[in-house]
Structure formats: C-alpha cells, structure tokens
C-alpha cells in the first residue's frame, strides 16, 4: 500500500529522517570548510583519474578527480551538450542552402579564450572524422576597446598568435566601438526629466560623436557600464546580421551569468532576465539570430582551470592598470556583484551561482508587457514605469508658511538657479524608455540628464508606408 514514491524521491526521503535542525547543522558545517569549486592536486597526491583510471589526477572538480585530458574533455562536453543541434553537425548532402555561420563574441578574457579553444577543437575533430568537412563556419568578432582602456597587448595580435598556437585558420573581425555612433542622422538627444518623463529631441549641429563623448554624459560609473553592455550587444547583433551569421555564441560562464542576473535585478531590469540569460532567438531586421551561452554549465573556476591546463592564460588580454578597487565608492554594480559571488565561492556557497542561473531560466514574460520596445536598449517596455516611480517618489513641496519663506522663494526665483527650468521644450517628442534605462540615464540622483544616442525611426509598418508614399505634408 505504501510503495516508495519515484526513484528521485527516495533520496529525499532519506534526508527526511533527519530533524529540521540537523539539516541546518549539516548546511553550516559544509559552509565552514573552505570547499572551493576546483581543488588542484599536487604530483605527490597520486590519485588516479576516475574516468580513465590510467593517469594521476591533476584536480578535483565537482567532487571527482580528473586527469588533464579527461578534464578538458569534460569541459568540452559541456559545450557539445549546449550545441548538439543538428545544424552544427557535418552535413554530407551538398544541397544545404547556406552553411551555418557562428559568430563568437571574443573579448580576450579567459572565458572567451577557452570557448574559442573548445570550438576549434570541435572543428578539428569534425574535419578529422568527416574527411575535411566542417559543420559550421566560425567567425571571431572582437570589439576594440583600446581607446577606452590601455592594454599591454592588442587583440588582433592575440588572435593571430592563437591561430598559430592552435594550428587553425581563424576568421576574425575587429569592430570599432565608435561605429555605433557612425550613423549621424540617427543621433538624437534623449532626456529623462526630473519627473521621470523621457523626451527625444534632434541635434542641431553636425558634430560627430565618439564613445568618449557618451561616457561623459553618463551620470556615474555603473551607468557607463550598463551603456557599454547595451552598445556591445547591439553591435554584435548588427555584425551577425551583416555577416549573415545565424548564431551568436557568448563565452559567459555560469558564474558570470549568475552575476549578470543579479546585476540586472539591481539595475531594475528584472523583466529582461529571462531573455538575456537563457538561450534565445532574437529578431533583428526581420532576421532571426540565435544567441547561445555554451559555457552556461561551467563554473568560472573551471574555466580558469581549463585555461591553466592548456596554457591559454598567457594569451589573455591584459589591462595596464587593472582595477584594484577595494573602495566601494569607486565600484560599479557589476564590480559589487562579481565580488559577491567571489566571496560566496570562498565561503563554500559556490552552488549559489548555479541556483541563480537555474532560477533565471525558469522566468518568463511579464503580464504588463506592452507591444512597444524601449528606444534606448530595445527590450520590451513594461506598463508605465514613470508612473510607478512618481507614486513612490513624491516631489511636491510642503506649503510655505512664514513671510521669510516667501521672501526666500522670491529671491530664488530671481536668481540664476531657477532659470534652467524655463528652457524651451517645444521641439521635443515623448519617448518610450524602460525602467532600467531610466535609472541608467539618470543615475541615482534626482536631477534630469541627457545623452546622445542613435534612435531608430519609428519602425512600425504604417510609418514606413507613410514615409514612402507621402511627398509633402501640406
């Protein structure tokens, strides 16, 4: 009558015998031991690799000892599982319409080096097994950041020396970040007012804008960071479309994705989490581009181990003055969340990263979604973010009582401080901006702020018809 439930539950039942407080005690004892996600072994340990049983292990990961070869294979397997779709495999019939093209977003960081190595090893294997055929073409795209920060080495040198090291022909493309602002007729000024309303006005003069100009308009470092990530993903999407790549792969590790989820929530972008963190299909100019994170099951500590074992570390892009901040005031939202996950790793809560990513994968679309997109970052607009903010941040003054107050107010009105408020606003149009961008554009303060940004003309089909057929409005 009382059959044991499913196999899975059996395990749980076992734990159920413990009293609640016992479970808690177990959790804490686990925490106090410093169980780092990857533990390196020395030559004296002589623990045989659990997989091949032949060689000595070099490290312990996920409670299993690995030799070098088996560990690399294990990590490569993680990528294969994420990308086991038929379209990435070798096709023998030559009638296949278009070869599958994959764009690899390459930053020069450890994760992207590792992902590149894994992809190249996959291609090499395909060629070997299938008489020089390969299932897809790989295009490496890097964004040149050398005019943002000083680096010891340069990204195109890294790619060429990697190609020599891997003995493989690598196609690559390096983008200039200022390309984003190249289309000068799209550039508009976006203003977020003190009452959170967003406005768009055209720029009179024909100045060309560079990334540095935009950075100067950002209210703080966290905003700059957010703006930069919007630019990067937009540039990569544009490039994927231009280079007819159907897939973009990002090298973000599980730890990095978890970090991204947390950072997005802190920035007020909770509604986007489900789009940005799970593998998804994004539409761009009517084309569908798939975005995949092949390393989503790999912890950053494992990425580091992979890079160390293969010697890829030495190719990493090195900043001249890497951030060595301990001062919270100088940090950005992402610095803080990164530091948080690092601390968790050290205190033994390493599984948190996987919990966060798994939770984020379970999220879906909100019910308050509108059919419009944010003019700044391009995600779905939610209902009335500005109304939400106005309700919880009142900015009505208490009435002035004494004569002295009124005198002060009169003084204020005649002073220069009140003048900027009366500036002409007739040339500007209302704009739909999402909550996250509103926060980014204004920073944490109460002041209005403006930024120059390429704003696509309203892309509704009606507008296109009007634009095409109306010669003159009069």
Partner 1 sequence: MVEKQKKIKPGALCELCHGRKAVMKRPKNLQKLCKECFYNVFETEIHNTIVGHELFKKGDRVAIGASGGKDSTVLAAVLKTLNERYNYGVELVLLSIDEGIKGYRDDSLATVKRNQKQYEMPLEIVSYKELYDWSMDEIVSCAGIRSSCTYCGVLRRQALDRGAAKLGIDHVVTGHNADDVAETVLMNILRGDTARLESSCSILTQSSGSPIKRSKPFKYTYQKEIVLYAHYKKLDYFSTECSYAPEAFRGTARELLKSLESIRPSCIMDIIYSGEHLVLGQKKKVTQQRKKPNKIKNDMEQEVRSDGSIKIKQNETKDGNRCEKCGYITSNRICKACLLLGGLEANRAKLDIEGNTAVDGAAKLTRTLEKLAF
Binding residues among 359-418 for partner 1 as defined by CB under 8 A: 359-360, 362-368, 382, 385, 388-389, 391-402, 404-406, 408-409, 411-413, 415, 417-418
Is 358 one of the binding residues for partner 1 (CB under 8 A)? yes
| Cα–Cα dist 282/240, whole Å | 11
Per-position x/- string for 294-333, each x denoting binding to partner 1 as judged by CB under 8 A, each - no binding: ----------------------------------xx-xxx
Q: Which is nearer to partner 1, 285 or 393 (CB)?
A: 393
Per-position x/- string for 21-60, each x denoting binding to partner 1 as judged by CB under 8 A, each - no binding: x--xx--x--x-----------------------------
235 contacts 180 by C-beta, under 8 angstroms: yes
Q: Which is nearer to partner 1, 176 or 361 (CB)?
A: 361
In the complex, minimum distance from the CB of residue 400 to partner 1, in angstroms, rounded to a whole number: 4
Q: Which is nearer to partner 1, 235 or 374 (CB)?
A: 374
Which stretch in 68-76, 137-145, 173-181, 265-273 sits in contact with partner 1 by CB under 8 A?
265-273
The residues pairing with 247 across neighbouring beta strands, listed in sequence order, are 102, 290
Tokens matching residue 53: 């049983």
Which stretch in 228-236, 290-298, 303-311, 345-353 sits in contact with partner 1 by CB under 8 A?
345-353
Site for partner 1 in 415-454 (CB under 8 A): 415, 417-418, 435-436, 439, 443-446
Q: Which is nearer to partner 1, 13 or 464 (CB)?
A: 13
79 contacts 116 by C-beta, under 8 angstroms: no
In the complex, minimum distance from the CB of residue 2 to partner 1, in angstroms, rounded to a whole number: 6
SS3 117: helix
159 contacts 172 by C-beta, under 8 angstroms: yes
In the complex, minimum distance from the CB of residue 391 to partner 1, in angstroms, rounded to a whole number: 5
Phi–psi pair at 460, nearest 5 degrees: -70, 150
Instruction: Kindly determine how many residues on this chain lie close enough to bind partner 1 according to the rule CB under 8 A.
Output: 90
- HSE-CB at 378 with a 13 A cutoff on CA atoms is 21
Torsion of CA 39, 43, 49, 54, to 10 degrees: 170
How many whole angstroms from its chain centre is CA 175? 18
Instruction: Select from 295, 250, 246 the least CA-distant residue to 98.
Output: 246
Among 59, 187, 214, 264, binds partner 1 (CB under 8 A): 264
SS3 288: strand
In the complex, minimum distance from the CB of residue 153 to partner 1, in angstroms, rounded to a whole number: 31
187-192 and 198-202 beta bridge pairing? antiparallel
Per-position x/- string for 111-130, each x denoting binding to partner 1 as judged by CB under 8 A, each - no binding: --------------------
Q: How far is CA 203 from CA 156, 187, 188, 425, in A?
A: 36, 7, 6, 13
């Amino acid at each position: 009558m009382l059959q044991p439930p499913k196999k899975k539950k059996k395990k749980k039942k076992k734990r159920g015998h413990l009293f609640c407080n016992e479970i808690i005690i177990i959790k804490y004892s686990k925490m106090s031991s410093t169980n780092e996600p990857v533990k390196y072994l020395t030559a004296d340990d002589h623990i045989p690799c659990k997989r091949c049983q032949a060689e000595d292990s070099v490290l312990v990961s996920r409670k299993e000892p690995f030799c070098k070869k088996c560990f690399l294979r294990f990590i490569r397997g993680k990528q294969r599982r994420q990308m086991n779709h038929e379209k990435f495999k070798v096709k023998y019939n030559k009638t296949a319409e278009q070869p599958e093209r994959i764009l690899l977003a390459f930053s020069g960081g450890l994760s992207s080096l590792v992902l590149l190595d894994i992809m190249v090893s996959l291609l090499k294997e395909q060629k070997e097994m299938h008489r020089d055929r390969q299932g897809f073409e790989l295009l490496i795209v890097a964004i040149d950041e050398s005019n943002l920060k000083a680096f010891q080495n340069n990204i195109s040198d890294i790619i060429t020396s990697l190609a020599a090291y891997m003995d493989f022909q690598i196609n690559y493309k390096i983008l200039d970040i200022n390309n984003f602002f190249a289309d000068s007729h799209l550039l508009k000024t976006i203003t977020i007012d003190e009452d959170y309303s967003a406005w768009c006005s055209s720029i009179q003069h024909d100045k060309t804008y560079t990334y540095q100009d935009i950075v100067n308009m950002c209210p703080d470092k966290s905003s700059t960071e957010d703006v930069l990530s919007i630019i990067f993903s937009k540039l990569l999407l544009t490039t994927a479309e231009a280079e007819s790549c159907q897939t973009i792969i990002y090298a973000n590790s599980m730890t990095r994705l978890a970090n991204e989820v947390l950072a997005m929530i802190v920035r007020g972008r909770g509604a986007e989490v489900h789009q940005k963190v799970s593998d998804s299909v994004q539409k761009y100019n009517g084309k569908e581009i798939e975005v995949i994170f092949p390393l989503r099951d790999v912890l950053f500590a494992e990425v580091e181990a992979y890079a160390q074992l293969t010697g890829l570390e030495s190719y990493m892009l090195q900043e001249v003055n890497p951030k060595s901040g301990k001062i919270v005031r100088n940090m950005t939202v992402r610095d803080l969340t990164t530091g948080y996950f690092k601390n968790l790793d050290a205190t033994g809560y390493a599984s948190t990263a996987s919990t966060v990513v798994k939770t984020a994968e379970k999220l879906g679309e909100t019910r308050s979604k509108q059919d419009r997109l944010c003019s700044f970052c391009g995600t779905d607009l939610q209902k009335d973010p500005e109304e939400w903010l106005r309700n919880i941040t009142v900015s009505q003054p208490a009435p002035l009582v004494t004569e002295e107050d009124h005198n002060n107010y009169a003084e204020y009105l005649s002073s220069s401080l009140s003048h900027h408020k009366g500036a002409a606003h007739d040339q500007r149009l209302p704009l739909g901006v999402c909550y996250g961008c509103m926060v980014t554009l204004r920073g944490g303060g109460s002041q209005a702020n403006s930024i120059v940004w390429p704003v696509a003309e309203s892309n509704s089909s009606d507008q296109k018809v009007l634009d095409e057929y109306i010669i003159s409005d009069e």
